[in-house]
Structure 1
Amino acid sequence: MSSKQQPPKTATAQDKSTGGMRLDKWLWAARFYKTRALAVEEIGRGRVLVNEQAAKPSRDVRAGDRLRLRQGVVEREVLVLGLSQVRGPAPVAQTLYQETAESLAARERAAEARRLAPEPALGIAENRQGRPTKQDRRRLAEWQRWTVSADEA
């Protein structure tokens, strides 16, 4: 291999005794969040739990830890399998963790519920705000014409 193409620096479960790495850095390296700053923000909001406990960005993560995290509306539960000091390609990042069966099933159920949910934009016509359309103005004028004549009579 040339000096430019080196394999990513990863630690396996055998290297567990050497210690862990920062939670925010692991989340970034495992590609759960695009930047470490986003990972720190999500951890600070309490959306990341390590072994069912609230965590700080500097908390050490070791192989065997169970993480529960939320990415938008998606909630995941993963087991840490390895550590990496660098952010590598997605296939390599996916080897650092294993998602639990319960988490996979919950994500599939949530995706199905979102797919079957009604389109949010369909109810906008009834709840329109702002300037009335030409059609709305005509309906309003028609309604006012009949109500004014009924009141005067």
Structure 2
Amino acid sequence: MSDHQQMEKVRLDRWLWATRIFKTRSLSTDACKRNWVKVNDQLAKPSRYLRVGDILSIRQGPIDKKLQVVGLLDKRTSASKVPEFLEDLTSQETYQRAQEDHAKRKFAYPRTVSKGRPSKKQRRDLEDFLFGREEV
């Protein structure tokens, strides 16, 4: 079953991992269990078998990806060979919208520059302020 042309079907979680959609197989399994993955517009369990031509809807963060299965494989392959096994049907507007949302969130809550760990006096002052200790 090592040759992808001879395979008729492969497990969904294994295909998602092998095509580098998810970094680990357990992450792909969890995504299926959390209903983040649909096959042909139906919720799919990790053990569901994929066939060539199936259309996947995958929610990854703010992006809802749509992929078509072009080839089957059950072993992880290099990133340069991944386009042989899937076709990305996600619109460019979706990617642009996600990128804009990320940029907005990045600047919405800027991090303040901290000077490291507070000193003992600063920590005591902070505790007094937060917990309202009264000086005797």
1:10–1:85: 8 Å Cα contact kept in structure 2? Answer: no
Larger Rg computed on CA atoms: 1
Q: What residue is the counterpart of 2:98 in the other structure? A: 110
CA 1:131 to 1:108, structure 2 compared with 1: closer, same or farther past 3 Å? farther
- Cα distance in 2, alignment partners of residues 20 and 49 from structure 1: 17
Q: Deviations over 1:56-109 (max 9, x none)?
A: 11111111000000222322101110011210110112321111153x321222
- Number of matched pairs: 116
- TM-score normalised by length of structure 2: 0.72
1:87–1:93: 8 Å Cα contact kept in structure 2? Answer: no
Q: Which amino acid aligns with 1:30?
A: T
- Cα distance in 2, alignment partners of residues 11 and 65 from structure 1: 16
Q: Which amino acid aligns with 1:69?
A: I
CA 1:68 to 1:122, structure 2 compared with 1: closer, same or farther past 3 Å? same
Match of 1:94 among 83, 94, 97: 83
- Cα distance in 2, alignment partners of residues 123 and 113 from structure 1: 18
Equivalent residues in 2 for 1:9-24, closer than 5 Å: 9-12=2-5, 19-24=8-13
Q: What residue is the counterpart of 1:54 in the other structure? A: 43
Tell me whether 1:63 sits opposite 2:52 in the alignment: yes
- Cα distance in 2, alignment partners of residues 96 and 79 from structure 1: 9
Greater share of helix residues, 1 or 2?
1
Q: Which consecutive residues of structure 1, in runs of 5 or more, have no partner in the other structure?
A: 1-8, 125-129, 138-153
CA 1:123 to 1:80, structure 2 compared with 1: closer, same or farther past 3 Å? same
TM-fit CA distance, 1:114: 2.3
2:65–2:90: 8 Å Cα contact kept in structure 1? Answer: no
- Cα distance in 2, alignment partners of residues 55 and 100 from structure 1: 19
CA 1:42 to 1:101, structure 2 compared with 1: closer, same or farther past 3 Å? closer
Q: Which amino acid aligns with 1:105?
A: E
SS of residue matched to 2:109: helix
CA 1:58 to 1:101, structure 2 compared with 1: closer, same or farther past 3 Å? closer
- TM-score normalised by length of structure 1: 0.65
SS of residue matched to 2:94: helix
Between the aligned residues of both structures, percent identity stands at 33
Q: Which amino acid aligns with 1:93?
A: V
2:12–2:46: 8 Å Cα contact kept in structure 1? Answer: yes
Aligned residues: CA RMSD: 2.5
Q: Which amino acid aligns with 1:52?
A: D
- Cα distance in 2, alignment partners of residues 93 and 10 from structure 1: 15
